[in-house]
Amino acid sequence: MDLRAASLVLPGRLAGVSLALRPGEVTAIVGPNGAGKSSLLSCLSGLLAPASGMVTGDGTPLDHLPPRERARRIGYLPQSPEVAWDVSVRTLVSLGRLPWQGSPLHRAHASAAEDEAAIARALAAMDLDPLAARPVSRLSGGERARALAARVLAGEPAWLLADEPLANLDLSHAAALVRLLRAQAEAGRGVVLVLHDLATAMNRADRVIVLDRGQVAADGPPHLALDPALVSRIWGIGARWLGDAGARALAVD
Ligand SMILES: Nc1ncnc2c1ncn2[C@@H]1O[C@H](COP(=O)(O)OP(=O)(O)OP(=O)(O)O)[C@@H](O)[C@H]1O
């Protein structure tokens, strides 16, 4: 499924954003605080309705899809997800399978074995096996972030939309999550990440969208979208890229 945004407007947040996102790629959305990144990701997930404009998946407006079908297609990890109940990590992750559960006669119904296998894959991918029985209230901030990411991964959606998924992770878990998301894209899924770390966007994304004051300021391959002159202008800093392709670092004055 492709994912398209047409002229999205949310007063004070998005000022006419149009994008065509492709599966099989890691797309990074970057921009200063308040640029509209989270608002755009919420609209792309179908959870926030724009005042005008439309988001479509393969030409179908997202609000025409039944909620479970939309959830099977689009997994969304918000910036500060709430955990409503103090369940175990395993139970939290298993909630990611809800979109696949329903009547056994339903076309998209998953068997219990498929659910178990997806939950096991997500727990292992986020290095949560030793914590699976632990109540969520007794996790560190980064462990909780990994559990919430695993919940989304367990749903095995066609699109993974994640708002600053690396923010609370240590270096090795952040690197593991980036590798996993790249592998998901290589397997044909769509991956869209809001990132603050421009070096991760430069080195690990296939495409970078720079948002500024609710508008797309640049959109393209990382080395073009993250041109130092544009970075300097939009973030209001002196910026230079150092090092070789794939391992660039941003030097900020
Ligand atoms: N629920 C809301 N209602 C109205 N305005 C909002 C709401 N949430 C955010 N805003 C405003 O919309 C603009 C864009 O916010 P958004 O959270 O999308 O930015 P962002 O780029 O994700 O920022 P950050 O990097 O700080 O997370 C900001 O000016 C913000 O103050």
153-212: pLDDT as tens digits: 999 999 999 999 999 999 999 999 999 999 999 999 999 999 999 999 999 999 999 999
pLDDT tens column, 21-64: 999 999 999 999 999 999 999 999 999 999 999 999 989 999 89
Query: What would the two tokens of residue 242 be?
Result: 């150092």
pLDDT higher than 70, residue 93: yes
Angle formed by the axes of helices 141-154 and 112-125, to 10°? 150
Give the residue, by CA position, lying nearest to ligand 1 atom 27.
33
Name residue 59's amino acid. G
* ipTM for the complex shown: 0.98
What per-residue confidence (pLDDT) applies to 100?
Answer: 82
**Do residues 32 and 212 make contact, with C-beta atoms less than 8 angstroms apart?**
yes
Please tell me the residue having the least CA distance from ligand 1 atom 28: 34
CA dihedral 202, 203, 206, 212 (to 10 degrees): -20
Dump strand ranges (E) for 154-222: 159-163, 190-194, 207-212, 215-220
Which pLDDT does position 105 carry in this prediction? 54
Strands across the sheet with 14-21, in order?
A: 14-21, 3-10, 52-57, 60-61
What pLDDT is recorded for position 108?
A: 59
125: number of Cβ within 10 Å: 19
Give the tens place of pLDDT for each residue, 97-136: 988 886 555 655 668 888 999 999 999 999 999 999 999 9
- H/E element holding 250? strand 249-252
Q: Which candidate, 188, 140, 194, places its Cα nearest to that of 167?
A: 194
Task: Specify the pLDDT at position 109.
Answer: 66
Distance 74 CA to ligand 1 centre (A): 22
Answer whether 151's CB lies under 8 Å from 93's CB. yes
Which residue has a Cα nearest atom 17 of ligand 1?
Answer: 38
pLDDT at 111: 80
- Give the residue, by CA position, lying nearest to ligand 1 atom 12: 13
Which residues lie with the beta carbon below 6 Å from any ligand 1 atom? Answer: 12-13, 31, 33-39
Distance between Cα 41 and ligand 1 center (Å): 11
Q: What is the pLDDT of residue 106?
A: 60
Contact 5, 19 (CB under 8 A): yes
Question: Which of 172, 226, 241 shows the shortest CA–CA distance to 195?
Answer: 226
Residue 33 confidence (pLDDT): 97
Q: What are phi and psi of 47, to 5 degrees?
A: -90, -15
pLDDT at 67: 87
Residue pair 189/159 in contact by the 8 Å Cβ criterion: yes
Tokens of 133: 């029985």
- Dist CA 196 CA 29 (whole Å): 9
The 10s digit of each residue's pLDDT in 213-251 is 999 999 999 999 999 999 999 999 999 999 999 999 999
